[in-house]
C-alpha cells in the first residue's frame, strides 16, 4: 500500500511539474497569423484536433504540378489580408444530418502569446460563426493549458 501511495505521489509531482511549464490561456485568445500584425480573435477548442480558419477562396490553380489556393481573411475590424498557399491535402468534415464537406488544408503560421508555430489549418466558411479562427490541439499540445473560465490572457508578440 505504501509503495502504491509513493508511486502515485511521484506521478502527481511529475505531472504537476510538467504542467507548470505550460502557459495558461483562456477559451478565447487574440492571435496573429503568418508573422504579420494581422490580428484575429480565435476560439480555443481542445475538442478539435485541427485548427480552422474562415477564408474566402479567391482562386485555386496548379503551380509546379501542385494544387495551390489564393484566399483572403477578414477580421472583425474589417481589415483583410491575402494569402497564396500550396494545398497539402483535402480533408472531409463529417456533419450530423448533413452532407460531408471537403476542405483544403494548408500550412500557416500562428502566434499566441510568444509562441509561433507553423501548423496545418483547414480553410472553411466560418462566416456564420462568432469567431473566424478555431485553434485545435495540433497547435496547443505541449505549450498551453486552457482554462475555460478565462478569456484574452495574452497578446500575440512573436518575433
For the chain, 159 residues long, give each residue's pLDDT as a single digit of tens: 555 444 444 444 444 445 568 999 999 999 999 989 999 999 999 999 999 999 998 899 999 999 999 999 999 889 999 999 999 999 987 777 788 888 999 999 999 999 999 999 999 888 888 899 999 999 999 999 999 999 999 999 997
Domains (range + CATH), the chain: 22-151 (2.40.70.10)
Contact 35, 108 (CB under 8 A): no
List beta partners, residue 158: none
Unique residue bearing C-alpha cell 475590424: 77
Q: Which residues of 103-130 are buried (b: 16+ CB within 10 A; e: fewer)?
A: bbbbebebbbbebbbebbbbbbebeeee
| Whole-angstrom distance, CA of residue 152 vs CA of residue 28 | 6
Eight-class DSSP state of 35: T
- Residue 101, strand partner residues: 93
156 CB burial (10 A radius; 0-12, 13-18, 19+): buried
Amino acid at each position: 500500500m505504501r509503495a502504491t501511495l509513493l508511486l502515485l505521489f511521484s506521478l502527481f509531482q511529475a505531472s504537476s511539474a510538467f504542467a507548470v511549464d505550460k502557459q495558461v490561456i483562456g477559451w478565447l485568445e487574440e492571435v496573429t497569423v503568418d508573422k504579420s500584425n494581422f490580428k484575429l480573435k480565435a476560439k480555443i477548442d481542445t475538442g478539435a484536433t485541427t485548427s480552422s480558419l474562415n477564408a474566402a477562396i479567391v482562386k485555386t490553380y496548379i503551380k509546379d504540378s501542385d494544387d495551390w489556393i489564393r484566399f483572403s481573411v477578414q477580421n472583425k475590424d474589417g481589415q483583410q489580408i491575402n494569402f497564396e498557399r500550396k494545398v497539402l491535402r483535402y480533408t472531409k468534415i463529417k456533419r450530423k444530418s448533413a452532407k460531408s464537406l471537403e476542405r483544403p488544408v494548408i500550412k500557416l503560421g500562428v502566434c499566441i502569446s510568444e509562441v509561433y508555430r507553423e501548423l496545418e489549418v483547414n480553410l472553411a466558411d466560418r462566416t456564420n460563426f462568432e469567431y473566424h479562427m478555431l485553434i485545435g490541439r495540433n497547435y496547443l499540445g505541449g505549450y498551453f493549458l486552457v482554462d475555460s473560465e478565462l478569456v484574452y490572457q495574452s497578446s500575440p508578440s512573436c518575433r
